[in-house]
Chains A and B, each alone.
Chain A
Amino acid sequence: MPPLLTVEKLSVTYAGPAGSTRAVQEVSFAVEPGEVLALVGESGSGKSSVALALTRLLASPPATMSGRVQFDGRDLLTLPEADLRGIRGGAIAYVFQDPASSLNPVLTIGEQIIETVALHTSTRGIAARRAAAEWLEHVGIDEAEDRLSAYPYELSGGMQQRACLAMALAGRPSLLIADEPTTALDVTVQVQILRLLRDLQRRLNLSVLLISHDLLVVERIAHRVGVMQGGQLLELGPVSRVLQQPAHPYTQGLVELRRRMRLRTGPPDA
């Protein structure tokens, strides 16, 4: 099967008053159907710029993008804006770090999910409302019917992130881009959301591009991992290979850090 997404020599440059910054430099990778590919790196490594550039979510100017992003036989970097709008939130959906700022505070959860359903599927009216409730159930929100009329502020951070996942899935994506989906959450909630993400990925055979700075998160749910630093993709490979034989000194440092932050030796961490 051909890859779902093929990124070739993607570069992102931000123009600023003090000259331009090359945030992403000729990054190439592919995401296979049903695969979880993670990009790790510290703040400023360019990983979020990659995630946003894929569907041209970066304002241009100041950002300029070059290279190719092949998805479903089309190059997303040259696709007309109108066509791209059908893909964003549809075939390619996003979940971001801070659920509170991804949700519209003046619309109910239901309105926001129904909007996605109506925009990206042929379902309308009562059926769309039912579909929205079903997605809420899928992401583990109880009493989904009632929750449709809740406003974001009435939900906890973990619940908000579940709602964001429901909204993302409601567009029936084949690629989910999750940018630090658990970073803003409490430790115990983090586990719940990660488990949910893993289970949904398996159940729906989703492809996921996971952006994270935490190798442990990557280790738990990704199949392959790419390591980014200073806008470059240093190495890319199966998670177990990269963790056991990191090729690049920077990756070795990350793995060492991960080892030192380990709580206990032995299972389930070994």
Chain B
Amino acid sequence: MPDALLEADNVVKVFTPRDAAPWRRAAATRAVDGVTFSLQAGEAVGLVGESGCGKTTLAKLLIGLLRPDEGEVRVLGQPLQRLRGAALRSMRRVVQFVFQDPMGSLNPRLTVGEAIAEPLIIHRLAATAAERRARVEQLLASVQLPGSFAQRLPRQLSGGERQRVGIARALAVEPKTLLCDEPIASLDVSVGSQILELLRGINQRGTALLFISHDLRAVASLCRRVAVMRSGALLEEGPVDAVLAAPRHPYTGVLIRSAELDLDML
């Protein structure tokens, strides 16, 4: 079997409160507690769980924004922590990310065009300014935004448009994987479903997706495989249909019935 795009091997991340007095044993939180997980080329996998279950921490470990205290994250078989310089930069072309709050992930002073061009410059993906402009326009088109948006500032866009810009910027380096952390949580239903549709298209063109969400409805409509997380651990994973039809863990059942707004559960 070829190397997985992205692999977590028994990773652990412990957070210790910074202001804990030295003589007191600080109450450490095991935010991610021994997770083993892999993402293969072209897959669409959902990671679900409630707030505080560790899904965002796991995402940050997977993209190297946090270092695991134990275990290892591998990108195309290479240990992420040992990558430096050019190797690390080329890893960024394997995994790109889209965050929940598009306003917070876009520089308010950069135009949309500048924001999307930045990765093209860093990764030397366009030789000339003209080539860069053409590529920006093409990327905007790929997220169904008009080319004229390149001149706009983030604050001149709606939430859904900003999220599209975030996706266009992530796609600029033609990543093999898009890791999306709650990309539709701050959008309303119809705008959110358009973003889901867009992500589905991106996946169908061959980019693997890791879709992190507390919304099982969104996960079920987009992903083939789902992993359920609680208190830092993966409870179960499997094909979406199978997990929905016969959840092995009682908590998964609670999540499913919650997503269905089953008011008479318990």
Contacts and interface: CB of A to CB of B under 8 A. Distances in A.
Interface of A: 42-43, 186-191, 194-195, 198, 213-217, 219-221, 253-254, 257, 260-264, 268-269
Nearest to B189: A213
B258 A188 contact: yes
Nearest to B52: A186
A263 B258 contact: no
B51 interface: yes
A214 B188 CA distance: 8
Given A42-B190, A198-B263, A190 B258 contact: yes
Q: Which of B159, B257, B263 has the most CB of A within 10 A?
A: B263
Contact of A187 (B50, B188, B221, B263): B50
A264 B263 contact: no
Contact of A257 (B189, B216, B261): B189
A8 to B, nearest CB: 28
Contacts, number: 77
B256 interface: yes
B188 A43 contact: yes
5 contacts: A187-B259, A190-B261, A191-B258, A194-B261, A215-B189
A186 B221 contact: no
Given A216-B260, A253-B190, 4 more contacts: A43-B188, A260-B221, A262-B217, A264-B256
B215 interface: yes
B262 A42 contact: no
A187 B259 CA distance: 6
Contacts of A187: 50, 214-216, 255, 258-259
Nearest to B217: A261
Contacts of A186: 50-51, 214
B265 A191 contact: yes
Contact of B244 (A189, A216, A263, A268): A263
A261 B190 contact: no
Nearest to A264: B244
Nearest to B240: A263
A63 B214 CA distance: 37
